[in-house]
A = this chain, B = another copy of it.
Amino acid sequence: QRKGAPEVILGATKETAQIIAMAHGLLLSTGRAIISRLRPDSIAPLQKEFQAYTVRTLEAARAMVIYSPDYQRKSTGGQVGVISAGTSDIPMAEEAKLIAEEMGCTVTTIYDVGVAGLHRLLAPLRDLLTSGVDVIIVAAGMDGALPSVVAGLSPVPVIGLPTSIGYGLGGNGVAALLSMLQTCAPGLSVVNIDNGVGAGITAALVANRVAQAREHQSQ
């Protein structure tokens, strides 16, 4: 739990038995186990194994959090915004949200705006900025244009989360990632395609550092 970032078990390349063993280890040491990119066939065995625990499953995001009965998540006061371009990007956005929440942040979401419907973005984005958000994650696939648009309109750092939505040349998130790397908008950095975990951790690190400075202030 160095730097406040929880260890996350990457489920996709592990046997269910391995995941269970690692989860027990994390529950013992930290009271919580977060698993990402679960293969569908691992979900039921995990839920059975951890019946006695509190289990939070995000099926679409292929993520699961298991809490010891006495686990208490601390709130840091960090404020994170998560925006998704389309409905297909929501699972990755939810993965990022989950991580930021597990790191103590309050997360506000704006889902299913998208470049073709900029009018659907402007009012909620204004509200989000007014509410004092510290950092914004924008999940987008296909042309990946939304993060640039948001970065062009926001005075806070923006983290681009390209998603593997889209087919043909530049599909599976490649065009989205490349166009975020090529952005003309200021203050946009990126993580890899579908890496909601990475986007969530980075956003939470930013928000928690700001929150910590605020907190010192209010003391």
Contacts and interface: CB of A to CB of B under 8 A. Distances in A.
A168 B156 contact: no
Interface stretch (A38-46, A49-57, A144-152): A144-152
B149 A148 contact: no
A13 interface: yes
A165 B171 CA distance: 16
Interface in A157-192: 157, 159, 162, 164-171, 173-192
Nearest to A219: B217
A10 interface: yes
A202 B129 CA distance: 17
B152 A2 contact: yes
| Total copies of this chain within the assembly | 8
Contacts of A88: 10, 13-14
A135 to B, nearest CB: 8
Given A157-B206, A213-B213, A114 B4 contact: no
Interface of A: 2-5, 10, 12-15, 18, 22, 37, 60, 85-88, 114-118, 134-135, 142-145, 148-149, 152, 154-157, 159, 162, 164-171, 173-195, 198-199, 201-202, 205-206, 209-211, 213-214, 216-218
Closest 7 CB pairs of A and B: A217-B217, A170-B178, A168-B193, A213-B213, A168-B192, A3-B155, A5-B186
